[in-house]
Chains A and B, each alone.
Chain A
Amino acid sequence: MDFKPYVLMLFGNALLTTVICCVVVGAILLREYRPTILRLKRERSDKR
């Protein structure tokens, strides 16, 4: 096996970009939307 560390860096950075993006977007969803979504879900289940 001929491990090429810089190739890992190339594709690792590409993957890291998506991971960072998902973490940022996930944090926005959890912080800014989740409280409202949970409240709405609770209200809907109460009505049922």
Chain B
Amino acid sequence: MNITLTIFIAVLAAYVIVAAGLTRFIKNRDDFYVMGEQGSTLLLTGTLAATFLSAVTLMGIAGISYSEGPLVIGALGSFGAWLGTLIAVVWIGRKMKAMECRTMMDFFDRRFNNKWVSVVALILMVIGLLGYGIIQLIGAGLVLAEIIDVPFPVIIIAFTFALMVFCSLSGMYGVVYTDTMMFFTMLAIAFVISPMLIGQAGMENLRGLSDSLPGYWTLAGANDRALSWSISQFLVWILFFACTPALVSRVFPAKNDFVILKVAVIGVFFAPAMQLMVYLAAGAMQVIQPGIEPADRAMIVGFMDHTNPVLAGVGLAGLMASIMSTASTLFVLTGFALARDLYEKLFEKKLDEKRSVLAGRISQVIVSIIVCVIAIARPAGIYWISIYAGSIFAVAWLPTIVAAMKWRRASAPAVLACMLVGSISFITLGELERHELISYPAGIDNLMMAFALGTITLIVMCLAFKPSGYEIERFEEMKGQRMSEITIGRFLDADSTGATLIREYRRVWMALIAMLVVAGGLWGYLFVQLGL
């Protein structure tokens, strides 16, 4: 058996064993859906960062960084993703957690109590999560199959089997713990392998790339992309990441508000830290081995051919982690949507705790089978869906969620119209451009137009339709629900002297100062090395 295959099997086995061992923690539906709200700072930082870093970073964007320069996406597009993650955690996720949401669908259900709103939001979520997740699984699975020299269907079956074990046996516990394990392999890529590759290339040679590839250290890159393209990338990523369920839902298992705040500070630091180190290492690969084709294999060539066998194994495990952590989160949320939001709530099935967990597990098995079949069959339709899947949350959900949280006049007809207009116009405008029936001015794309159309529709409908008594009541109630008040109350109930509350408060300040120092040191050092 070759070494890469051994690593592949060993890594999958480790995740499956850990997830199976966590089954004993599942006593009720809260354990299954939000790990009994026992998520610590380490676990939630791990799952947030691991979900953030997907195969898109390690392959697609690393490939662009390799061939065009690390700034092309890193300087603005990724900046949008980092800020979007911050919004997802600190604002949207924290507010939904205060409302005791277990899934993002709970928010729509509670705020509007309207079946049509719930159905449309649910359909968009399932399409968005599955479309984005499956296409990543296919893309990275094909590469992995080539490296390990195992048939593609075997890779997919192995992945989906492992995902089924995580998700069905231990629900959110399995996903969060295995994500945290995966986070450490990703850290090894970012802070061990990447610096090694950068060291091999040499800072001077890395800086000198702009001599052989003019524009390599500019925003436009070696291919001289327009500024409007970079701005468009910034908008796409910030709008998408701000409300994607994969990131927002990372907050729901948090033990308390202090954990959320620490995760915001530490987890959001790791997003640029991991990404930029990979982009710089991809640039280093341009020095070490120019001409890698296709360019999205640059990091894999780096792991396999320019490190020692142990680090090559870690790199391979990290690549697997980047695929599985994102996929497990997307698929577990789809399973939750089917079991809890569709079966239990929309079909109004009253289930006791035990049956509810069983329904959750069955739905995870169903999702795994569907994913496996689609990924192996690779129907043309899945590639079409993937063009629109990820960004559908930006155009359909983001304006809706912002209005629902901040505007008293937000009503069911308005958010329904916004979701429909946003998603339909996004796809229609995209298809018109794809078939060259229409072309848009530079810097304008279908996502921006659909976002604007959806938002305008929302505003007009909110002004035209009065919210119902229920909606006003829920809005007022929601305004009063604060994570800080809930946390203060719980801490003082457990310790009336307030000593633990004061201690935790201080710890958040310490984390905040520590991350400022670390970030200042890291980015300052790299700027001095590469920018002066």
Binding site for B on A (CB under 8 A): 1-4, 6-22, 24-26, 28-29, 32-33, 36-37, 40-41, 43-44
Contact = CB atoms under 8 A, between A and B. Distances in A.
A28 B531 contact: no
Contacts of B501: 36-37, 40
Given A6-B75, A17-B82, A29 B261 contact: yes
Contacts of B272: 13-14, 17-18
A-B pairs, top 9 by smallest CB distance, nearest first, are A7-B531, A40-B498, A32-B484, A18-B519, A14-B272, A11-B523, A13-B79, A17-B82, A11-B527
Contact of A3 (B83, B524, B531): B531
Interface stretch (B287-295, B391-399, B411-419, B504-512): B504-512
B482 interface: yes
Contacts, number: 126
B264 A17 contact: no
Interface size class of B (residues with CB under 8 A): 35 or more
Interface of B: 70-71, 74-76, 79, 82-83, 86, 90, 207, 210, 217-219, 261, 264-265, 268-269, 271-273, 276, 482, 484-485, 488, 497-499, 501-502, 505, 508-509, 512, 515-516, 519-520, 523-524, 526-527, 530-532
Contact of B532 (A1, A13, A14, A25): A1
Given A4-B530, A8-B531, A33-B488, A44 B268 contact: no
Contacts of B531: 3-4, 7-8, 11
Contacts of B526: 11
A21 B268 contact: yes
Nearest to B234: A13
A15 B70 CA distance: 16
B505 A9 contact: no
20 contacts: A1-B532, A2-B532, A7-B71, A8-B531, A10-B276, A15-B520, A17-B272, A18-B268, A18-B272, A19-B519, A21-B264, A25-B512, A26-B509, A33-B505, A36-B501, A37-B501, A40-B498, A40-B501, A40-B502, A44-B498
A10 B502 contact: no
B268 A17 contact: yes
A10 B70 contact: yes
A8 B527 contact: yes
A48 to B, nearest CB: 12
A20 B501 CA distance: 25
Contacts of A37: 498, 501-502, 505
